[in-house]
Every structure is written in structure tokens, then in C-alpha cells.
Amino acid sequence: MPLLPVYADVAAAAWRLHGHAHRTPVMTSTTLNRELRCEVLFKCENLQRMGAFKFRGAFNALSRFSPAQRRAGVVAYSSGNHAQAIALAARLLDMPATIVMPADAPAVKVAATRGYGGHVVFYDRYREDREQIGRQLAERDGLTLIPPYDHADVIAGQGTAAMELIEDAGPLDAFLAPLGGGGLLSGSALALRQLAPQCRIYGVEPEAGNDGQQSLRRGAIVHIDTPRTLADGAQTQHLGQLTFSLIRKHVDDIFTATDAELVATMGLLAARLKLVVEPTGCLPLAALRRHAQHWRGQRVGVLLSGGNIDLARFCALLGADAATAPSY
């Protein structure tokens, strides 16, 4: 297994990102604090460049390429935020990016990736293996493959959001982040263990895909089928080797949230904080609302990981929810 990243790697990533990533705001809502009986500090990565924290890991990883790697370029496989993050970071660093996407990926995502200058290569998600296609392209054309979470530079870059949260908001009793493949949670843990050693660290997964929770309990990486959930940023089938090692070492517990809770929380964030947050980004606040008694009277950091949701879909989900649950 490659070496695990450490806090110094997060600090180095913060220097590389300086002037390139946004230092996103920390927001609060007095009304929400009163309802939840704790003080919630929202780190707004939905307002990050390209709409999610993934820009941090992508830019950090690409910044470390050698001149020869830069000339050949990067390849990534993703239909979501990682694709856009790699495409944008590559454009800013003036290198070519190839993104392997399923042929049936939503047109808006393909357009967004191309809009950032990414060269899109399609594959058949039912007959072909995207990792294999990525590796073949990497070998054939000398490209460097950057995976979405199980990579030391990606993990270190993702950790810079939690680092800024502590710098800007002060010490925390608890911190909650969404959990997909674990890059965000493990990077956050590296930052928090150094900067806020007393802070308890929690991940939140979709209830339909709780492989991380199962893995933590079993002490080994559990693989599941692709879960059906609105939280498309956390539809991973398993944690990575690096991310699992760090999560096992540093994370206190993993909670889950249902799709209905994610939609209700998306409406709450729009109504109270005027923020558009995609379903995956709603995972931590949804868990905080369900288990509010756990954190009564505490200062709790909540990472709002992204805001990339098609506006028509956002309205449709909230409209359908408002019909059954009118009170945000």
C-alpha cells in the first residue's frame, strides 16, 4: 500500500491551493441552532469553484505533476464532481485532461466537463470496466491516472476544507462530513486530529449504501452493489485502502440518512440559509437532525460538500416534498 498522507501533507496542500481555490465561508443560522439545541457551523463547499470540495484534491494532485506528466496530461474516470474538478484543475494548470464517462451520463454533466476543457471518452457502463479503460489510456498515451478518492494527494487536498473551518470558526466538539469513498472524511480527520484534537469526527452515508459503517464495524473493507440513492456523490461500492486505514484510526462513528431525510434537509438549507446544496451534501445535517440529542449544547462543524444539482430537479424534489411535508 502507498504511504498514508499525514497532517503536513494537508498543510502543504493548503499552500498549493492558496489563490486558486476559494476560501469558502462558514455560515450559521440562529433559528436552526435554537431548533437543534446546538451551535452548527456550516463550511460552504457548495460555494467552492466548480461547485464542490473536489476541486481541492484535484488541484493539489495535479500541482504535483512533473513537467513530463504535465505535457502528457491526466486521465480520470467519473461522471460526477471529480470529472469536473479534474477538468478545471487541468485547464488552470495548462495540461490536457481526458475524462472517461458512461455513454448514458447526464448531458449537463458531459457539457460541464467539456465546458472546463475536458476531453470526454465514453464507455458502456454495462459491458465495459471504466477503471480498465482509464488504465489502458494511461498506458497507451502516457497519461497519469488520478482516482477520485484513494490517492494521498487527493486526500490531503480534501483535508484543507476542515483546516480552514477550524482556522475560521475556532475549536469544535464535533465534525460531520458526507462519506462516499472516504477522501473527504479521511483528509478532514488528518486536519482535525492536529488542529482540534478533542473534536469527535463522524461520517454520514446514504442508508441504502452503508458499506463504510459496515466496514468500520467489521474492521475490513466491505463491498456492496451500487446503492440506489439520491446521494449520487456517495454511491460508492467500497472505501479505499488509504481512506479506510485513516477512517479506522481517526473516525469516531458513521451514521446514515435516508433519501426522504436528504430532501427535507435540502429544503431546510434553502429556506433557512438560502443555500443550494445537492443531496449528497445534505447527508451530515440530515444525520444531525435525526440524532440531535447526541450533540446538545455542542459546537458542531458540518461540511456542506457540494451544490451541483440540476435546478429543475432541485425544484421537482422540493415541490414533491412540500406537498407531503409543508413545514421547513
Tell me the three cell numbers of residue 264.
Answer: 427535507
CA distances for 139 relative to 128, 202, 276, angstroms: 17, 38, 40
**Which residue minimizes CB distance to ligand PLP?**
306
Q: Considering only residues 280, 295, 300, 309, which one is a binding residue for ligand PLP as defined by CB under 6 A? A: 280
Q: Considering only residues 75, 184, 263, 302, which one is a binding residue for ligand PLP as defined by CB under 6 A? A: 184
**Quick check: 183 binds ligand PLP (CB under 6 A)?**
yes
Would you give the binding string for ligand PLP spanning residues 220-239, x where CB under 6 A is met?
-------------xx-x---
Q: Which is nearer to ligand PLP, 115 or 147 (CB)?
A: 147
Terminal-to-terminal C-alpha distance of the chain? 46
Task: For residues 172 and 169, give the distance between their C-alpha atoms in angstroms, rounded to a whole number.
Answer: 8
- Quick one: CA torsion of 222, 225, 226, 228, rounded to 10 degrees? -110
**Which class for 257: exposed (0-12), middle (13-18), buried (19 or more C-beta within 10 A)?**
buried
Could you tell me if 7 and 191 are in contact, meaning their C-beta atoms sit under 8 angstroms apart?
yes
Could you tell me if 190 and 9 are in contact, meaning their C-beta atoms sit under 8 angstroms apart?
yes
Is position 79 annotated as part of the catalytic site?
A: yes
Q: Considering only residues 134, 281, 284, 301, which one is a binding residue for ligand PLP as defined by CB under 6 A? A: 281
Which uninterrupted H or E stretch holds 303? Answer: strand 299-304
Q: Which is nearer to ligand PLP, 70 or 193 (CB)?
A: 193
Q: Considering only residues 116, 164, 305, 314, which one is a binding residue for ligand PLP as defined by CB under 6 A? A: 305
Closest CA to 164 of 248, 48, 84, 297: 48
**Which class for 23: exposed (0-12), middle (13-18), buried (19 or more C-beta within 10 A)?**
middle
**Quick check: 130 binds ligand PLP (CB under 6 A)?**
no
Is position 253 annotated as part of the catalytic site?
A: no
Catalytic residue among 9, 45, 205, 207: 205
Q: Which is nearer to ligand PLP, 39 or 43 (CB)?
A: 43
**Quick check: 263 binds ligand PLP (CB under 6 A)?**
no
**Quick check: 182 binds ligand PLP (CB under 6 A)?**
yes
How wide is the angle at C-alpha 266 spanned by C-alphas 290 and 205, nearest 5°?
55
CB of 84 to ligand PLP, least distance (A): 9
Catalytic residue among 118, 187, 209, 301: 209
Residues catalogued as catalytic: 54, 79, 205, 209, 211, 305
Interface with ligand PLP (CB under 6 A): 52, 54, 80-81, 149, 178-185, 233-234, 236, 278, 280-281, 305-306
